Amino acid sequence: LFKGQKIERKRVAIELHDNLSSLLSAVNMSIQSIDPRHLSEPYQAIYQSLTQLIQNAYAEVRNISHNILPAELEKEGLAKTLETLVERLNKNSGIRFSLAIPDLKERLPIEIEFNLYSIVWELINNAIRHSQANEVQISLIRTEWGISLTVADNGIGLRSGNEKRGIGLQNIHNRLESLGGTFDIPNA
């Protein structure tokens, strides 16, 4: 099942990167062929906005395709991949991310690493989109029972009863269930 999912994620990542990126590049080239000096002032503003939106869409597709199945995860492991992700987020985000991985010297099975990476990515996206936080702390600790993952922020938190509403949180529950793990949202 994991191998099949991995093959499908790789296919989707390639499709996003190759096809959608190519389409966005073509749209960008078409837009760039317009000389904004010949446009009225309101249309110049629209032109600038479209150009920025296309660049943002291209960057988002690139991020998604790389994060669906990061090649670094297979080569370097979870710890290094998370370090790289946090570095990239700290350069490109208004939120300050920190990472603590004190006891994870040895690689975990790739299925566990991939699921943990996907969970961290989903929780980071939730923090960026919904938390209104300016700090996010990620910690991954090996315990005598397994692995403890904590993603905490200084944002507004979840309203009571929202734990199972979103598809992202449901995906986290499903991933953890497949690993025999649990998910807890403490009341803050």
Q: pTM of the full predicted structure?
A: 0.66
Could you tell me which residues are beta bridge partners of residue 98?
137
Q: What is the mean pLDDT of residues 42-53?
A: 90
Record the tokens describing residue 149, joined without a space.
Answer: 């993952």
pLDDT of residue 66: 64
pLDDT (tens digit, 9 = 90+) per residue, 130-171? 888 899 999 999 888 888 999 999 988 765 554 446 777 888
**Between helices 41-68 and 21-32, what is the axis angle to 10°?**
160
pLDDT of residue 98: 95
Q: How confident is the model at residue 69 (pLDDT cuts 50, 70, 90)?
A: low
39 torsion bin: left (phi>0), alpha (psi -120 to 50), beta (else) = beta
CA-atom Rg of the chain in angstroms: 20
pLDDT of residue 67: 64
CA 91 to chain centroid: 14
Least confident among 1-15, 48-62, 112-126: 1-15
